[in-house]
Amino acid sequence: MHQPIVAVIGASQTQPEHPDYQDGVRLGRLLAEVGWAVASGGYGGLMEAVSSGAAERGGRVIGVTAPAVFPGRSGANSHVNEERPAATLTERIQDLLTISDAVVALPGSLGTLAELILAWNIAFVAPFSGRQPVPIVAVGRTWGELIPLLAERLATNGDLVQCVGTVDAAVAAVRRHIDRPDEPG
């Protein structure tokens, strides 16, 4: 049986004392508790937070790293139990999204935005080849403001990215899709 993998994207610089970091740990715990693997960029910040929470609950933790892009980083965080090195940043993002059954975006900056936009675009074009889009859930006020604005200005389907306020709501939203993929979310 296939173990669902949830890609979690978010800021790489968030420190453990920040509330977003604690949300990342909670998200990792919640995902592992329902039996899903987590995948992230594998480094620090919110990637480490979600990895830590999942590992704490015995979950599978995948880190899709890019050693040539980030030579100053010493490798995947200590909670990653499966590292998948990619040669380039675009290959890293593509691998992360390709292996995942859902995407959760935590607060972040330009890198997180790039990953979220690519996930959104892949979801948008999925029906063109007869595939179902994977669920994408964005957590936090910034995404809640930005996604509707982008959808309107770019005349695209903003419903492909569900914006929620908490990681608990994110897990519930993903769960509706993964547990019952043919039912409306």
Local confidence band at 185 (pLDDT 50, 70, 90 cut-offs): very low
Count of other CB atoms within 10 angstroms of residue 141: 10
- Domains of the chain, with CATH numbers? 5-179 (3.40.50.450)
pLDDT at 175: 95
Label the pairing between strands 61-63 and 161-164: unpaired
**Which CA distances in Å does 74 have to 43, 55, 65, 68, 152?**
9, 20, 11, 11, 41
CA distance 134 to 108: 21
Q: What is the pTM of this model?
A: 0.95
pLDDT at 1: 76
Q: What is the pLDDT of residues 125-184, one digit of tens each?
A: 999 999 999 999 999 999 999 999 999 999 999 999 999 999 999 999 999 988 765 544
